[in-house]
Every structure is written in structure tokens, then in C-alpha cells.
């Protein structure tokens, strides 16, 4: 049994067989070969080895000719490894005696060697593991040929393990079969995590190097609550996790009883808990959990999933489906928030040095007006059939807000000319997610109908931490006193201006922060559908006066650690039966 | 055919120890002989014909190794391998041609 610690990003527990996705995105099948097929499989391995050897030899000759003999030497070493008698004896044994398919045998054996290299004291020799991986990849590429298996072809329950999964790869995971996933890199606030949460797939990211220790088909536990990934769990651990999964279900069932009750504090303040969604089908989860509406409808999936630019009709279909199903409850549609870590197939900026400070989000829309207009028209059309609100992301300057509103006005005029129905008074708001927007909030509040605080970006921009960089991910702290002050300013100003304030982003779904946020004056939370019941449970367990007291004390503290410890303790005292995710 | 075991203690003198290139030369040389060849470092014993095994010894400069060969051409094998160590694996061109 091997226990790895990563960053938990999507709650829940899953136990299933591993599917390992290598950097090139193909998976290694754990197939077994029948007794009669052993010789065929061995000769398949033989021809793959020959082909790779020929390949390496021609590389060596080309390089030697170009740069001199000594440069070709590395390829000679690769050839020697490829022909290594020990390696082949081991492969043959796995195929002949244990009936592994050559792909699985190669992956297992080579990963074992790579691990042995990595464990050497000499850093230069440890680095040579890369040479082993390179050979593994060459052999696999040759063995798999055109039969590379795609993630989307999974048809049995699995845990996906990869170096990294892009948000779009994650979005394409089928929750019916993908029970959980774990990745070597990634941070708490990355969009991969958001997508995982949306799909309600337990997930752990930022585990560090571990793919050498695992082979496809191994039994794996992913604990999305504690951030643990367990390989080859023993009986006791397995039993524990089966019990844990059961607990999750029971607790969820208890929360279910809150579904039709309002989120109201014990002293009678009404709180609105809306849901963040990514895909239209998530509306079901929102309804099931009694959300008061959709507080954030992300629209990136339209661009990420498809292989073409989405048409106005495609936008409109996706929006009107959600609006109809929400049946009169508000739906806040956020315009395109692509860029940085979410890239579709759009003609985006050339490689950017600092994508999070680059051409993303509203900036991208304002530079691609035709694309922006298509989306705005579709949103406006959907406003004819329900309570649709429109929200612009990452507004940093007043100029951007005014520009965006102007484009929206143009779209309205066009629709009017065409005699198309829409809501002329569609509430228009902005996300507050840059420190600049907070500093200028009084001015912004005069020009919007609502605001929504996007804590993920606000925290990363104010603390200057890239939340997806695992070298500094630990510096990304929602509870930082600087963040609390920014929130306080924003919520207080909005209250004075009588502008409704919501909060989306991870902090609003973090049960530790609910009381703090209530104390700051927040009455609208937008959280993943799965978090609605918990947040409601907390709201119904506390009084605003208690929360204000907690907030006053937290605001006087000096560090995120102090704040977080304090909040956790308060939650434990005031809402003892909430399941703590630690 | 006589089964003979011959062995010799050698010291690694080249700067980088038994990294990929020296390991390759050893394995290539060892594979030219019929005898079994083993490299022994303390209690570790690896197949001298396996480059991967040789690298996993993690033998650095100054390490003493015992090379052991058993088989009909054991003596020739030990002589050839010892020469590689003595030359600090520099003599690649000659090795290539033999």
C-alpha cells in the first residue's frame, strides 16, 4: 500500500482500477493474452523492438554525421538498453508466464527501471530515468500503433491518473465511468478542478511525481476530501473507504431533507444560494438540491468541447434549455471567460509569457467583437423566456465595462430592428475579480445592476500567486487578511449603493467561510450544485449576530493560518454535525 | 569445455562514474563473450551484459568493483573489461571497431 498526498479539489471518495494516461494522452491497456497467443504477442514485441532499434540507429547515424561521433553515443546507449538481455528476459516472463499483453509488460517493466534510476543518489544518473521513459514511449507508440485508446472510449469504471488533465480533457470525462482522477500537477483553483467539481468526480491534483509507481489496472482509492490517493490499498483501508463512501451517501440524504426549506438564518435573514454550472445538464443537479437559481452559468464549454466556433443557435439552445428548466428562477449567464488556462480552438494570442495577465476573458471578447456579438445576441434572445441576467468577467477598468455595455446595446438595437423578442431591461452585472475593480468599486456600482465577486481570480491577483503553480500554490489563501479587507470593502460599498452582491468562486463554497461571509454582509452565494445543501445547512444553523461577531474577530487577525484555524473551530462549535472535509 | 571463473577488482576512475556511456561500453563488450559476466559492488551483484542493471548500481568515481566472468572465454572477457576501466572508457573508437 502506498499513500500519496495531493490537493483535494473535488470531494467524494472513489475506488476503482487505474487508467494511466501518459503525456501524449494515450492509455496503456491492461490486457491479458491467451496461452495460444503468447508466441504471436512475443513476436509482436520483437518487431516493435526491431522497428524502434532501426529508428534509433538511424537517429544515431544522422546525429553522428552532423555533429560527430560523441553526440551519437547517447543513441548507442539507448540501443543497448533496448536490446538489454535482462529487460527482454523480464518482458518475456511477464508475457509468457503472467500472460500480460506486451504494452502492459513494457510499461510495467520500464517504469520499474525508471523508478530504480530515480532512486539513485547521483542526480545525473537519476535523471537518466527520462531515457527509460523515452524508450517506453517509443515502444508503446509502436506497439499501440493506431490502436491508441482514447479517454472517451472508456467503458468500465476507472480512476484516471495523469500528469495533467486540461480543462477540456476533464470536461470530456464521462462521469458514468470515470469514478475519480488524480494528477501530478495542478493547484486548488485551476479550472480543471472547477470542471471536476461540476461533474462531481472526486479528484486530487498536485500529487507530485507518482506515475512511475502505478500501472493501468492497479486498484486505486481517490479521496477527494483529504487529498489522498492510495495505491494497492490493503483490506482494512478498502473497508474504511467503502464505509466512508456510505457515510457520504447518508449525509447527502440527510441534507436532502433541507431541499425545500429556505436558506434562512436562525434570526430570520434570508440567504440566497444559487449554483454554478458549466453544462446544461447540471440544471438537474441544481433542482435536485434546491438551488435558488443559477448564479454563474459558465459558457466556455461551448468553445472547449466543439471543434468549430459555436453558432448563435448553439449558444441559444444551451441557454434556453437552462432558462426553461430553471422555471422562473434567475439565471446569470457569464460571457466568454476563455484564455489563460482555458483555451478553445479560437485564434487566440500567440504564446503568452504570463497568460493570467494576458489576453483573456472580457479582453478577448472585446478584441473579437463578431464572436462576442454572437454570444450576446443568444443571451438576449434567451432573456425573452425567463429571468436571464448577463455578467461580464474580469472587468478591470470602467472603460472595459462601458465598452462591453456598448456592444450589448448594439446587439439590442439589432435585435429590435429585426423584431426579435428580448428583455430590454436585462439586468447587467460584472464580476469583481481584480484588485483594481475593488479599489474603484464605488464608480463601478453606479453602472451595474449587480456584482459577483470571483474569489479565485481576486485571491490570485491580490496575493500575486498563480494558483496552478504547485511551487507556490500553498501561498494561495482565501483566508488572507488582505483578501478579507478587499471583500469587506466590496460588500460594504455595494450595500451602501443598494446593489445586490453575490459571490462565486471557491471561497463561497468553502464551509469554513460561510459564517465569515454572512458576517461581512453577503446574502447571495453561488456554489457548485453539490455544495448547495451544506451551505444552506450552515445558514439555517447560525444567527447573523453570531456571524458578525466572528467576522469582527477574524478581521483583526494577522495571517490566513490564524483566520482559517479560528473559522474552523467556530464552525465545529456552532454547527457540530456538519461533515468536516478534513 | 571448461567452466572457469575469473575475477578482478577494478576502480572507477572517470569523473562521472558508471553513467550511461561507460555502462553501454561495458555491456557491449561483455556481450561479445560467451561467458557470464557479473559486476559486484559490495553485496550487489548485477549482470554485466545488462546496461540497465549496470546503471542501477549507481557506481560513482572511486568505487571499487569486482568483475567476475565464468565460462570458456572468461579470461579474455576479464582482460578486455579491465582494460575499459583502465582507460577510463575513453577509448571508444577502438571499442567500436573490435
Lowest mean pLDDT among A80-84, A294-298, A299-303, A487-491: A299-303
Tell which residue, B86, B87, B97, has the closest CA to residue B10. Answer: B86
At residue A108, the pLDDT reads 86
At residue A73, the pLDDT reads 79
Select the residue from B17, B44, B51 to test the A interface by mutation, using most A Cβ atoms within 10 A: B51
A136-177 pLDDT, tens digit per residue, is 888 888 887 644 455 666 778 889 998 888 766 776 778 888
A74-107 pLDDT, tens digit per residue, is 788 889 999 999 999 999 999 999 888 888 899 8
Which residue from B minimizes the CA distance to A116?
Answer: B56
SS (H, E, C) A275-304: EEECCHHHHHHHHHCCCCCEEEECCCHHHH
Determine the 3-state secondary structure of A71 from DSSP: helix
Q: Which of B8, B13, B14, B19 is catalytic?
A: B19
Select the residue from A77, A87, A116 to test the B interface by mutation, using most B Cβ atoms within 10 A: A77
A502-529 pLDDT, tens digit per residue, is 999 889 999 999 999 999 999 999 998 8
Checking if the pLDDT of B39 tops 70, the result is yes
At residue A36, the pLDDT reads 84
At residue A26, the pLDDT reads 58
* Contact criterion met (CB < 8 Å) for A122 and B60: yes
**Percent of the residues in chain A that have a pLDDT greater than 70, as a whole number:** 92
Select the residue from A72, A73, A82, A85 to test the B interface by mutation, using most B Cβ atoms within 10 A: A85
* Contact criterion met (CB < 8 Å) for B21 and A73: yes
Q: Which residue has the higher pLDDT, A374 or B19?
A: A374
DSSP A309: P
Determine the 3-state secondary structure of A565 from DSSP: helix
Nearest to A84 among B21, B51, B93 (CB): B51
Assess contact for A399 and A436: CB atoms under 8 A.
no
* Contact criterion met (CB < 8 Å) for B16 and A121: no
Residue A77 sits at the chain B interface (C-beta within 8 Å): yes
CA distance A526 to A500: 13
- Fold adopted by A35-147: Enzyme I; Chain A, domain 2 (1.10.274)
Q: Which three cell numbers stand for residue B76?
A: 579474455
Catalytic residues of A: 191, 504
Which residue from A minimizes the CA distance to B28?
Answer: A80
The count of CB pairs under 8 A between chains A and B is 63
Tell which residue, A380, A341, A12, has the closest CA to residue A179. Answer: A12
Lowest mean pLDDT among A33-42, A100-109, A348-357, A495-504: A348-357
Q: Which three cell numbers stand for residue A534?
A: 451544506
Query: What is the average per-residue pLDDT within A312-334?
Result: 95
Distance between A132 CA and the closest CA of chain B, angstroms? 9
Contacts of A84 in chain B (CB under 8 A): 27, 50-53
DSSP states of B2-42: ---EEEEEEE--STT-S-HHHHHHHHHHHTTSSSEEEEEET
Alpha helices in A85-128 (DSSP H): 85-96, 102-118, 123-127
At residue A314, the pLDDT reads 93
CA distance A430 to A452: 6
Q: Quote the longest CA-to-CA distance of chain B.
A: 40
Give, in words, the CATH class of A2-27+150-250.
alpha beta
Q: Where in chain A is the domain with CATH 3.20.20.60?
A: 257-574
* Contact criterion met (CB < 8 Å) for B56 and A120: yes
A457-472 pLDDT, tens digit per residue, is 999 999 999 877 778 8
DSSP A451: E
Mean pLDDT for all residues in chain A? 88
* Contact criterion met (CB < 8 Å) for A80 and B51: yes
DSSP states of A327-356: TTS-EEEEP---BTTB--SS---S--SSGG
Q: What are the distances in angstroms from CA A530 to CA A188, A263, A577?
A: 17, 15, 18
A223-265 pLDDT, tens digit per residue, is 998 899 999 899 999 889 888 877 777 777 777 788 889 999 9
CA distance A174 to A197: 13
Q: Which residue has the higher pLDDT, A11 or A438?
A: A438
* Contact criterion met (CB < 8 Å) for B50 and A87: yes
Q: Where in chain A is the domain with CATH 3.50.30.10?
A: 2-27+150-250
Which residue from A minimizes the CA distance to B59?
Answer: A122
Residue A116 sits at the chain B interface (C-beta within 8 Å): yes
At residue A567, the pLDDT reads 96
With cut-offs at 50, 70 and 90, classify the pLDDT of residue A194: confident
A380-439 pLDDT, tens digit per residue, is 999 999 999 999 999 999 999 999 999 999 999 999 999 999 999 999 999 999 999 999
At residue A34, the pLDDT reads 82
Checking if the pLDDT of A343 tops 60, the result is no
Query: What is the average per-residue pLDDT within A345-356?
Result: 66
CA distance A179 to A22: 19
Domains of chain B: 5-88 (3.30.1340.10)
Lowest mean pLDDT among A177-191, A474-488, A547-561: A177-191
Residue A556 sits at the chain B interface (C-beta within 8 Å): no
Lowest mean pLDDT among A112-116, A212-216, A264-268, A473-477: A212-216
Checking if the pLDDT of A313 tops 60, the result is yes
Query: What is the average per-residue pLDDT within A261-278?
Result: 95
At residue A176, the pLDDT reads 81
SS (H, E, C) A16-70: EEEEEECCCCCECCCCECCHHHHHHHHHHHHHHHHHHHHHHHHHHHHHHHHHCHH
Give me the long-range contacts of A88-93 (CB less than 8 A, separation at least 24): A88/A49, A91/A45, A92/A42
Distance between B28 CA and the closest CA of chain A, angstroms? 7
Give, in words, the CATH class of A257-574.
alpha beta
Residues forming beta bridges with residue A333, ordered by sequence position:
A297, A390
**CB contact set of A373 (below 8 Å; sequence gap of 6+):** A407, A410, A411
Q: Which residue has the higher pLDDT, A247 or A489?
A: A489
Select the residue from B33, B52, B53 to test the A interface by mutation, using most A Cβ atoms within 10 A: B52
CA distance A449 to A286: 24
Residues 118-157 in A contacting B (C-alpha not used; CB under 8 Å): 120-122, 124-125, 128, 131-132
Contacts of B56 in chain A (CB under 8 A): 113, 116-117, 120
Nearest to A85 among B17, B19, B50 (CB): B50
Among A190-194, A355-359, B32-36, the range with the most confident prediction by mean pLDDT is B32-36
**ipTM of model:** 0.82
CA distance A302 to A345: 11
Assess contact for A431 and A393: CB atoms under 8 A.
yes
Distance between B2 CA and the closest CA of chain A, angstroms? 24
Tell which residue, A342, A346, A319, A343, has the closest CA to residue A332. Answer: A319
Amino acid at each position: 500500500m502506498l499513500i500519496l498526498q495531493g490537493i483535494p479539489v473535488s470531494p467524494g471518495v472513489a475506488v476503482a482500477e487505474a487508467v494511466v494516461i501518459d503525456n501524449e494522452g494515450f492509455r496503456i491497456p491492461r490486457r491479458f493474452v491467451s496461452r495460444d497467443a503468447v508466441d504471436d504477442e512475443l513476436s509482436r514485441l520483437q518487431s516493435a523492438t526491431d522497428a524502434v532499434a532501426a529508428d534509433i540507429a538511424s537517429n544515431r547515424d544522422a546525429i553522428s554525421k552532423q555533429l560527430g561521433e560523441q553526440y551519437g553515443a547517447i543513441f548507442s546507449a539507448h540501443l543497448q538498453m533496448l536490446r538489454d538481455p535482462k529487460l527482454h528476459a523480464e518482458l518475456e516472463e511477464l508475457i509468457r508466464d503472467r500472460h500480460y499483453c506486451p504494452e502492459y509488460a513494457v510499461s510495467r517493466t520500464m517504469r520499474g527501471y525508471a523508478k530504480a534510476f530515480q532512486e539513485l543518489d547521483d542526480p545525473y544518473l537519476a535523471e537518466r530515468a527520462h531515457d527509460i521513459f523515452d524508450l517506453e514511449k517509443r515502444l508503446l507508440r509502436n506497439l499501440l500503433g493506431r490502436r491508441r485508446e482514447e479517454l472517451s472510449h472508456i467503458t468500465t469504471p476507472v480512476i484516471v491518473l495523469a500528469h495533467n488533465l486540461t480543462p477540456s480533457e476533464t470536461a470530456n470525462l464521462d462521469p458514468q465511468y470515470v469514478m475519480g482522477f488524480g494528477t501530478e500537477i495542478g493547484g486548488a483553483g485551476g479550472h480543471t478542478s472547477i470542471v471536476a467539481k461540476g461533474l462531481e468526480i472526486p479528484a486530487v491534483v498536485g500529487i507530485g511525481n507518482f506515475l512511475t509507481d502505478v500501472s493501468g489496472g492497479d486498484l486505486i482509492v481517490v479521496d477527494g476530501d483529504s487529498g489522498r490517493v492510495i495505491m494497492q490499498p490493503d483490506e482494512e483501508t478498502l473497508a474504511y473507504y467503502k464505509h466512508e463512501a456510505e457515510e457520504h451517501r447518508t449525509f447527502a440524504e440527510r441534507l436532502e431533507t433541507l431541499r425545500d426549506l429556505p436558506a434562512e438564518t436562525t434570526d430570520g435573514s434570508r440567504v440566497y444560494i444559487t449554483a454554478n454550472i458549466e453544462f446544461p445538464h447540471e440544471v438537474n443537479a441544481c433542482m435536485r438540491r434546491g438551488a435558488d437559481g443559477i448564479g454563474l452559468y459558465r459558457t466556455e464549454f461551448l468553445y472547449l468541447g466543439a471543434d468549430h466556433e459555436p453558432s448563435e443557435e448553439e449558444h441559444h439552445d444551451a441557454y434556453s434549455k437552462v432558462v426553461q428548466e430553471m422555471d422562473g428562477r434567475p439565471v446569470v449567464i457569464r460571457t466568454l471567460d476563455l484564455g489563460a488556462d482555458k483555451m478553445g480552438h479560437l485564434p487566440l494570442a500567440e504564446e503568452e509569457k504570463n497568460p493570467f495577465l494576458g489576453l483573456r476573458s472580457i479582453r478577448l471578447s472585446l478584441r473579437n467583437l463578431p464572436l462576442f456579438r454572437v454570444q450576446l445576441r443568444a443571451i438576449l434572445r434567451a432573456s425573452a423566456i425567463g429571468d436571464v441576467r448577463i455578467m461580464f468577467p474580469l472587468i478591470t477598468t470602467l472603460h472595459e465595462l462601458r465598452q462591453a455595455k456598448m456592444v450589448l446595446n448594439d446587439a439590442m438595437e439589432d435585435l429590435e430592428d429585426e423584431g426579435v423578442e428580448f428583455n430590454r431591461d436585462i439586468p447587467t452585472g460584472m464580476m469583481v475579480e481584480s484588485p483594481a475593480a475593488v479599489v474603484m468599486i464605488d464608480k463601478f456600482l453606479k453602472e451595474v445592476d449587480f456584482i459577483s465577486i470571483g474569489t479565485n481570480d481576486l485571491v490570485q491577483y491580490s496575493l500575486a500567486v498563480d494558483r496552478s503553480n504547485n511551487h507556490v500554490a500553498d501561498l494561495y489563501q482565501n483566508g488572507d487578511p488582505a483578501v478579507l479587507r478587499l471583500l469587506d470593502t466590496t460588500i460594504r460599498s455595494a450595500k451602501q449603493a443598494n446593489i445586490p452582491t453575490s459571490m462565486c468562486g471557491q471561497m463561497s463554497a468553502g464551509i469554513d467561510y460561510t459564517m465569515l461571509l454572512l458576517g461581512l454582509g453577503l446574502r447571495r452565494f453561488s456554489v457548485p450544485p453539490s455544495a448547495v445543501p451544506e451551505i444552506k445547512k450552515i445558514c439555517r444553523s447560525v444567527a447573523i449576530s453570531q456571524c458578525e461577531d466572528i467576522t469582527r474577530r477574524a478581521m483583526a487577525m494577522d495571517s490566513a493560518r490564524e483566520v482559517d484555524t479560528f473559522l474552523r473551530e467556530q464552525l465545529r462549535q456552532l454547527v457540530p454535525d456538519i461533515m468536516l472535509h478534513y | 569445455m571448461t567452466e572457469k571463473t575469473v575475477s578482478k577488482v577494478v576502480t572507477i576512475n572517470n569523473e562521472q562514474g558508471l553513467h550511461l556511456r561507460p555502462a553501454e561500453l561495458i555491456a557491449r563488450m561483455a556481450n561479445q563473450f560467451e561467458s557470464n559476466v557479473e559486476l559486484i559492488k559490495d553485496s550487489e551483484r548485477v549482470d554485466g551484459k545488462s546496461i540497465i542493471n549496470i546503471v542501477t548500481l549507481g557506481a560513482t568515481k572511486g568505487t571499487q568493483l569486482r568483475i567476475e566472468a565464468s565460462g570458456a572465454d572468461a579470461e579474455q572477457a576479464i582482460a578486455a573489461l579491465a582494460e575499459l576501466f583502465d582507460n577510463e572508457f575513453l577509448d571508444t573508437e577502438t571499442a567500436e571497431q573490435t
